[in-house]
Amino acid sequence: MIRIAIPNKGRLHDPTVSLLKEAGLPVLEGGTRKLFAKTTDPEITYLFARAADIPEYVQDGAADVGITGLDLIHETESDVEILLDLKFGGANLVLAVPEDSPITSAKELEGMRVATEFPNITAKYFENQGVKIEVIKVSGACEMTPHVGIADAIVDISSSGTTLVTNHLKMIEKAFTSSVYLIANKKTTENNDKIGQIRTAVESVLRAKGKRYLMMNVPADSLEIVKKVLPGMAGPTVMKVESDDSILAVHAVVDAGSIFATVDELKKAGAKDILVVPIERMMP
Ligand SMILES: Nc1ncnc2c1ncn2[C@@H]1O[C@H](COP(=O)(O)OP(=O)(O)OP(=O)(O)O)[C@@H](O)[C@H]1O
Ligand SMILES: O=P(O)(O)OC[C@H]1O[C@H](OP(=O)(O)OP(=O)(O)O)[C@H](O)[C@@H]1O
Ligand SMILES: [Mg+2]
């Protein structure tokens, strides 16, 4: 039996549940109130936990696999196997000071106080630069600490940057870049097929998100020029159209980012009836 710990609430819950559904491992029962849920595979169960607790649960074996932020993994200094960057929940831990402060770098904070919800990451960040500071641990509302005389600077999560601006703070340095990761218990990962399968399933969804499946009809005498437009991974698939000898059906997988330009070039090259289709999963 493999137990996967996933965030029970907060901003990571919904995208995690969606990704698992796309990977063919839907969370079948339970909402945020429940502790456990099943999925379609009888060998896998879900455990709902606080995002911040997941790294330690996975390290200690309370869960075999986990999904949580890299910042939380580093902050708890958890000894876990890092399997995959899931490319969502992206945020930076930034060093910020009041907008009217003359301070422009970490080095200028020698001997001062820095408030944060991430004391370990913060302490290491300053240590690496040889700067001695006092870390003030807070458990929320970090942004107001410089305005009430508790700290001179903060290290806090920022994604859109709105909270910093609203609180009259400015970022001076990026201390850590985070996104959500798939992690596993070090011992369980060794020779465990199921964990390999989970990783492959999730990876195949991420890979597919960046690709589109293109289908089109191409006059036979335009095939060579159409092929040049399609950088195809294993080259495009070319099929005969039963009713018309002079037309070929061409299929190819292309990067989602280049689809706009590619469709235009394909039309110019003579392709017709072009269909762009999303791909659910892609295994190499
Ligand atoms: N704008 C953001 N603010 C806070 N955390 C973010 C943001 N964007 C991504 N994250 C990531 O989300 C994780 C924190 O999730 P968590 O569920 O603990 O916070 P939350 O959604 O704010 O819930 P809570 O209400 O418990 O604070 C961290 O890994 C963090 O990097
Ligand atoms: O750059 P932004 O997009 O503004 O996001 C950053 C803010 O979001 C988080 O707070 P959250 O909303 O989770 O409230 P909390 O402090 O109560 O957790 C975080 O602690 C920052 O304050
Ligand atoms: Mg929060």
pLDDT, tens digit, 9 for 90 and up, residues 151-192: 999 999 999 999 999 999 999 999 999 999 999 999 999 889
* Distances in whole angstroms, Cα of residue 116 to Cα of each of 25, 133, 145, 180: 36, 12, 9, 20
Mean pLDDT value across the chain: 95
Domains 2-90+179-208 and 91-177 equal at CATH topology level = yes
Topology (CATH) of 91-177: D-Maltodextrin-Binding Protein; domain 2 (3.40.190)
Q: Is the pLDDT of residue 250 over 80?
A: yes
Binning pLDDT at 50, 70 and 90, where does residue 89 land? very high
Tell me the β-bridge partners of 91: 178
The helices-and-strands tally (H runs, E runs) of the chain is 9, 15
Q: Which phi and psi (to 5°) does residue 114 adopt? A: -125, 120
Query: Relative to the alpha carbon of 167, which ligand is closest?
Result: 2
> Which residue's CA is the closest to the ligand 1 atom numbered 27?
10
Atom of ligand 2 nearest to the CA of 161: 1
Instruction: Please work out whether the CB of residue 246 comes within 6 Å of at least one atom of ligand 2.
Output: no
Contact 136, 114 (CB under 8 A): yes
Instruction: Please work out whether the CB of residue 66 comes within 6 Å of at least one atom of ligand 1.
Output: no
Structure pTM?
0.92
Residues sharing a CB contact under 8 Å with residue 220, sequence separation 6 or more, in sequence order? 245, 246, 247, 248
Instruction: Please work out whether the CB of residue 10 comes within 6 Å of at least one atom of ligand 2.
Output: no
Give residue limits of the domains in the chain.
2-90+179-208, 91-177, 211-278
> Which residue's CA is the closest to the ligand 1 atom numbered 24?
10
Atom of ligand 1 nearest to the CA of 13: 17
Atom of ligand 2 nearest to the CA of 159: 1
Instruction: Please work out whether the CB of residue 71 comes within 6 Å of at least one atom of ligand 1.
Output: yes
Distance CA 154, CA 94 (A): 8
Q: Where are the alpha helices (DSSP H) in 83-191?
A: 119-128, 162-166, 186-189
Helix (H) or strand (E) holding 239: strand 237-240
Q: Is the pLDDT of residue 243 over 90?
A: no
What is the whole-number distance in angstroms between the Cα of residue 139 and the centre of ligand 3? 10
pLDDT for residue 235: 76
Contact 63, 57 (CB under 8 A): yes
Query: Relative to the alpha carbon of 68, which ligand is closest?
Result: 1
Instruction: Please work out whether the CB of residue 52 comes within 6 Å of at least one atom of ligand 1.
Output: yes
Instruction: Please work out whether the CB of residue 91 comes within 6 Å of at least one atom of ligand 1.
Output: yes
Q: Which CATH architecture has domain 2-90+179-208?
A: 3-Layer(aba) Sandwich (3.40)
Distance CA 96, CA 104 (A): 9
- Reported as a single tens digit per residue, the pLDDT across 265-276 is 999 999 999 999
Structure-model confidence comparison of residues 30 and 162, the more confident one: 162
Tell me which amino acid residue 97 is: V
Atom of ligand 1 nearest to the CA of 68: 29
* Distances in whole angstroms, Cα of residue 283 to Cα of each of 32, 80, 236, 266, 271: 32, 25, 17, 26, 28
Class of the 211-278 domain?
alpha beta
- For a pLDDT cut of 90, what percent of the chain falls above it? 92
Q: Which phi and psi (to 5°) does residue 184 adopt? A: -145, 160
* 163, 168, 176, 177: residue to mutate for ligand 2 pocket, most atoms within 8 A of CB: 163
Tell me which amino acid residue 103 is: I
Q: In what order do the strands lie in the sheet with 169-178?
A: 134-137, 113-116, 153-158, 91-98, 169-178
Query: Relative to the alpha carbon of 9, which ligand is closest?
Result: 1
Distance CA 213, CA 235 (A): 13
Helix (H) or strand (E) holding 10: none
> Which residue's CA is the closest to the ligand 1 atom numbered 28?
69
How buried is 102 (Cβ within 10 angstroms: 0-12 exposed, 13-18 middle, 19+ buried)? exposed
Distance CA 28, CA 40 (A): 7
Instruction: Please work out whether the CB of residue 139 comes within 6 Å of at least one atom of ligand 2.
Output: no
